[in-house]
Amino acid sequence: MAPEEMVGSLATPKVPLSAFLLVLCGLCTSVMWGGIFNLAVEGLGKYTAQASGIFMMMVVGGGILPLIQNAIADGVGYMASYWLIIAGLAYLLYYGLVGCKNVNKNIPVE
């Protein structure tokens, strides 16, 4: 192998901006999971265990949504399929800003 080929192989690869933003979006939402879970179960009292189970079942959405997005992409195009992701992230934003307010503060623990 020629020296100029070796130096070229150590160069920084060109990554499309869309791929970088996709990875960044996934990393940011994964870090939020702990905070969202704690906000969601706070003050549920005796319903905490049941709610935790429901929230864990919602994690399956991470496996189902790509299949739904794929069906949308096959039907109307891949650019339109990203509206599903935008809707999910909009809901996360709503929950983080407004929806996490606990209105049930006096649920008994027993």
- How does pLDDT run along the chain (110 residues), one tens digit per residue? 555 555 555 667 777 888 888 788 778 877 777 777 887 777 777 888 888 888 888 777 677 888 898 999 999 998 898 899 889 888 878 877 887 676 666 666 65
Position 39 in a domain: yes
Position 66 in a domain: yes
Position 54 in a domain: yes
Position 21 in a domain: no
Number of domains in the chain: 1
Assess contact for 84 and 69: CB atoms under 8 A: yes
Position 12 in a domain: no
Confidence (pLDDT) at 97: 82
Confidence (pLDDT) at 27: 82
Sign of the C-alpha dihedral, residues 26, 31, 34, 35? negative
Position 64 in a domain: yes
**Structural domain that includes position 51:** 32-99
Position 108 in a domain: no
Confidence (pLDDT) at 2: 58
Question: Whole-structure pTM over 0.85, yes or no?
Answer: no
- CA 40, CA 95: separation in Å to the nearest integer? 9
Position 91 in a domain: yes
